Amino acid sequence: MKTVKIVVGANFGDEGKGLMTDYFAKEAKDKNQSCLVICHNGGSQKGHTVVSPSGLRHVFHHFGSGAVCGADTYLSARFIVNPITYNKELAELKSKNIEPQIFVHDQALITTPFDMMLNQIAEEYRGKSKHGSCGVGIFETKVRNEEYRIESTISGFSNLSRQQLGSILNRIVSEYFPVRLKQLGVDTVPDKWNKILEYKECIIENFIDDFLKMKKSISSAGDSILDLYDYVIFEGAQGLLLDQNNLEYAPHLTPSSTGIKNPMDIIAKRNADVEVCYVTRTYMTRHGAGRFDTECAKKEINSQITDLTNIPNSYQDTIRYGTLDLVDLKERIENDSKGFPVKKSLAVTHCNEYGINEEMLRKLFCGYKIYRSDGMTHNDVKWKLPIFNSLAED
């Protein structure tokens, strides 16, 4: 029976999904099993940090976080590919002697530079009412493809000549771009963006180069690719509270399903031993604008916390901190997993930075396998067998 791990962020993201993906990939490596990491939602806004015991550090965007341990990567049809950031990351990985095999679904969407520009212009125009986007054009890519039907998929672009690609990109910037800006409520485009758009032909040519370069390094595949591997890890992006259907938190959401829906659709009726690992810090964080019910000052958690990945930026500002409500955590995990025949586990990270109510944790999560981490590497992850009711009442 195939081993399947589904790694899900239980909060607003930044919980430690990269760490747990790396941990499971190491488990597969130790068992000498072939391993595939499937990225099934979001896109290059994902920022999952992996630190090896030897000190190698990488923030994963397009590639599965199991790559350091030799796992291959599959970007599913629901993952949005950005050739610009893809090539940059691949070069970074190669400089660290990591060269993962990467497979991409033919129907995966492609972000263009103009989707990124629309995203950034709109966020700047919103000012204090900004949505907290990462600025890499994820939502704009979906809108253009799904609502305006100006499609950009891996298979669609791969079947076009350079001249045809140029024509589509020219149509996007000349016809679609101003229409979309108006829909976004942007009346006046700042001068700096107008100056950049003066070089649109150069931008288009460079982007085509990026796409063609990326194309050489990827292999086409469908969901059946997972049948070729012993150990499969679904690496989710963002967290349950940012799911596109969590409308109580709109509009500060991500345009994808962040829980187990996508992985279970891909697994379908395959015979697999499925464990869903929900990941949380001992406290909560949120990078970007929006509702945060348990928000507090950083000093109330730990003033000494240093986050090298979530650095301040003009779109998401500074990372925010809050306390973790274990009752709410259990409720959203149960809601996400309801109706799916899976084993559930909980990974609690950053245990060295802030405490957790151990008694409540044991009672609420009896029956769960519990992983804990008090460091940055897979060697820092420890686990305990599930605690059942008779023990939970001790």
pLDDT in tens, 8-32: 999 999 999 999 999 999 999 999 9
CB neighbours of 49 closer than 8 A, spacing ≥ 6?
18, 19, 57, 58, 59, 60, 308, 309, 376
H helical segments located in 324-392: 326-337, 358-364, 389-392
Tell me the average pLDDT across 237-261. 96
Q: What is the amino acid identity at position 3?
A: T
Active site residues: 14, 48
Q: Which residues pair with 322 in a beta bridge?
A: 284, 295
Judged against a pLDDT cut of 50, whether residue 49 lies above it is answered with yes
Question: Percent of the chain beyond pLDDT 70?
Answer: 98
Tell me the average pLDDT across 178-204. 96
Tell me the average pLDDT across 319-330. 97
Residue with tokens 């973790």, as numbered in its chain: 324
| 109-219: CATH topology | Adenylosuccinate Synthetase, subunit A; domain 2 (1.10.300)
Tell me the average pLDDT across 251-271. 95
| 2-105+222-384: CATH topology | Adenylosuccinate Synthetase; Chain A, domain 1 (3.40.440)
Confidence at residue 392, expressed as pLDDT on a 0 to 100 scale? 42
Tell me the average pLDDT across 94-116. 97
Considering the chain, tell me which residue range(s) the CATH 3.40.440.10 domain(s) occupy: 2-105+222-384
Contacts 24+ apart (CB under 8 A), 148-153: 148/176, 148/180, 150/176, 152/109, 152/110, 152/111, 152/112, 153/106, 153/107, 153/108, 153/109, 153/110
**Rounded-to-integer distance, Cα 103 and Cα 36, Å:** 10
Confidence at residue 387, expressed as pLDDT on a 0 to 100 scale? 60
On whether 70 is known to bind a ligand per the annotation, the reply is no
On whether 17 is known to bind a ligand per the annotation, the reply is yes
pLDDT interval class at 390 (50, 70, 90) = very low
Considering the chain, tell me which residue range(s) the CATH 1.10.300 domain(s) occupy: 109-219
Confidence at residue 306, expressed as pLDDT on a 0 to 100 scale? 85
Please tell me the pTM assigned to this model.
Answer: 0.95
Q: What is the token pair recorded at 72? A: 């291959």
The alpha carbon of residue 65 and the mean position of all alpha carbons in its chain are separated, in whole angstroms, by 10
Q: What is the token pair recorded at 266? A: 């891909």
CA angle 15, 386, 258 (to 5 degrees): 30
pLDDT interval class at 388 (50, 70, 90) = low
Judged against a pLDDT cut of 80, whether residue 200 lies above it is answered with yes
Confidence at residue 33, expressed as pLDDT on a 0 to 100 scale? 98
On whether 19 is known to bind a ligand per the annotation, the reply is yes
Task: Please provide the average confidence, as pLDDT, over all residues in the chain.
Answer: 94
On whether 15 is known to bind a ligand per the annotation, the reply is yes
Confidence at residue 139, expressed as pLDDT on a 0 to 100 scale? 95
Of residues 306 and 32, more confidently modeled:
32
On whether 16 is known to bind a ligand per the annotation, the reply is yes
Closest CA to 350 of 8, 5, 14, 12: 14
On whether 378 is known to bind a ligand per the annotation, the reply is no
